Structure 1
Amino acid sequence: MARLPRLTALAAAATALVALAAGPASAGDLTLRNPRVLVHFDFSAGQTPESIALEPDGSALVTFAFARQIAHVDPRGDVTVLAELPRVDNPRTPVIGIAAAMGIARAEDGTVYVNYATGTEESGIWRLRPDGSGPVQIARFPATSFPNGLALDEECGTLYAADSARGIVWRVPVTGGTPRAWATGTPLTPKSFVGANGVQVRKGAVWVSNTDRATLLRIPVRPDKSAGPIQTRARNLTWIDDFAFVGHRGDTVLAAQIQVNKVALVRPDGTHRTVLTRADGLANPTSVAVRHRTVYVNSASFFLEQDPDPNLLLARLSPHKG
């Protein structure tokens, strides 16, 4: 598959970005050990893993952005394509110009939700039932939107989608319907490329990364379910993409930094340090997931001009030994 011209140009310009400002390791800090690539994907077939959701048995559900597919990766690394989103003959997706399967979220009953970015009527949230039936569109985004990260608040029956082009967090019922702009404001907007990107729900708040602004944001959910003031929780996270929380308590985050080939451990006070690099097998990491002490990292190779290596990497969470 042809590489995206815009992404290629941005890769050449990336050297002008400010380097990651990492803090020192602290007592009780965590690190990642024994990184290994579980499976290498086929870039030429569009197997560029963008987002990830985990199943109870440790399998991973990933979206292959360029192939418009949802795939299942079992703990051995065997890959099964579960569904393919409909082909769009003339996509007009903002930022990237092609149709792409983006964020993914999984409900406890096995229902899967996926953002499909096309710039056409097909752009929106699609649902995949565990009964094997095909994907069905349940919400439609404006053509000027670029739906990227997707998060599910199952308790409230709500999906949150990050719009990278318009700087909006959209709110959609899991039953489907018209998306509502839930959160807006300068901290979510892009500067030149991608604004709001990854999104996660955590303890009464929606967290969002902004790639252009290199920030991690927290937006409280008020009692009436409206958005509270946007809070900046971490800065200088160069090329931050999606992210995941560590454990069920606290606000420690593992963040993928796509173009600089890093995963950062972001502490609750906003300081951060690198815990994985290109030498560990990263190839433009796009998303992170955590199950118990196992960390999953997708790499899509969007910016690698030579020898692209899209893959799914596993590592082990351990206490940091300074």
Structure 2
Amino acid sequence: MRIKQIGVVLAATAVFALPAAPALAASRIVPLDLAAGQQPENIALEPDGSADLTFAYTGEIGRVTPGGQVRIIARIPVPADGDVPVVHRKLFLGGIVRAPGGDLYVAISTGTPATGLYRVRPGSPPVQVAALPPSGFQNGVARDPATGDLYVADSFGSTVWRVSRGRVTAFATGELLAPVSGFGANGIKVHAGAVWVSNLDRGTLVRFPLTGGPGRVVATGLGPVDDFAFHGDSVVAAINQENRVVTIGHDGVRTILSTSDGLANPTAVAVRGDQLYVTDGAYFGGSPNLLQTPLAANTCGAE
């Protein structure tokens, strides 16, 4: 495993310490309905503490209230002729981000021209705002708060797409984003002047400057890393098939959650204050859920 001064390049406010895996008693698990296809792939947090979840294969977006109630707020039509590459489902609903006005943007893969980035306003039909290659697997989505530009990680296309005012361009391409035998570019975030991307097959975290230029590997040896989030001087990441959530920082990689905490193929993480949210897709067994737990009681600094 290799960490390349991640604490330096993270432009964070302060260094904080994380304890070993928190006890389950301090956590809160909201069970989801596997029979109804509620396998969460990604998460966006609402100002009131609710969590918006993409359900991977149903085209549904669910909202989990602070009280633990789950309701469907939007449905993406599932094309009858859909055939997502490799997974061979009619639809895959990937990353989700929330814009300040409340609009949600989600990545959809279908293997048809319906593949793309969609805007969702609860109560209104979803609208495709950008078409993306049907041959790709559109996964994580990130938003640049300074410009409003959106970035989509294509797990099969070895590409990060930028969507700016409806115009689609390839922001980054190449081997750093490429899969080995399955999924390459996966999670994606805009942070500290750069676009950060995880590569699941290669077990890496890569940083691309927003101003352009080549990307560089910031961390290796992570295992099948899916989504991730920033907190203080560290990254918190979901290691999907290994059923772990880890932190990546000055002291290397540390496991903070595992199967004993209820993990079942963690697909995404989100951080608000000292609270960590984890979605479990249960793609390879177990039960899907939304887990919420404190990161640390002795956290210093802020996100």
- Percent of paired sites with the same residue: 45
Map of 2:11 onto structure 1: none
Q: Deviations over 1:289-316 (max 9, x none)?
A: 0011110000000011xxx300000110
Contact kept in structure 1, 2:2 and 2:219, CA below 8 Å: no
SS in 1 for 2:295: strand
Contact kept in structure 2, 1:234 and 1:270, CA below 8 Å: no
> Displacement of 1:129 after TM fit?
2.2
Q: Does 1:287 align with 2:272?
A: no
Q: Deviations over 1:20-75 (max 9, x none)?
A: 899xxxx9521353443431111121110000011111110110011111111111
Contact kept in structure 2, 1:124 and 1:147, CA below 8 Å: yes
**Of 28, 31, 35, the match for 1:44:** 35
Flag the 1:236–1:270 CA change in 2: closer, same or farther, 3 A. farther
Contact kept in structure 2, 1:150 and 1:160, CA below 8 Å: yes
Mind listing any 5+ residue stretches in structure 2 that lack a counterpart? Answer: 4-14
Q: Does 1:235 align with 2:220?
A: yes
Contact kept in structure 2, 1:127 and 1:135, CA below 8 Å: yes
Aligned residue pairs total: 284
Map of 1:261 onto structure 2: 243
SS in 1 for 2:180: coil
Q: Which amino acid aligns with 2:229?
A: A
Map of 2:166 onto structure 1: 176
Q: Does 1:313 align with 2:291?
A: yes
Q: TM-score, normalised by structure 1?
A: 0.84
Flag the 1:34–1:49 CA change in 2: closer, same or farther, 3 A. same
**Of 181, 191, 202, the match for 1:202:** 191
Q: What is the alpha-carbon distance in structure 2 between the residues aligned to residue 270 and residue 43 of structure 1?
A: 37
What is the 5 A alignment of 1:243-258? 243-247=228-232, 250=233, 252-258=234-240
SS in 1 for 2:260: helix
Q: TM-score, normalised by structure 2?
A: 0.89
Map of 2:12 onto structure 1: none
Contact kept in structure 2, 1:165 and 1:189, CA below 8 Å: yes
Map of 2:7 onto structure 1: none
Q: Does 1:58 align with 2:32?
A: no
Q: Which amino acid aligns with 1:246?
A: H
**Of 205, 208, 214, the match for 1:216:** 205
Q: What is the alpha-carbon distance in structure 2 between the residues aligned to residue 47 and residue 172 of structure 1?
A: 28
**Of 258, 262, 267, the match for 1:277:** 258
Q: Structure 1 segments of 4 or more deviating over 6 A?
A: none
Q: What is the alpha-carbon distance in structure 1 between the residues aligned to residue 261 and residue 78 of structure 2?
A: 35
Q: Does 1:86 align with 2:63?
A: no
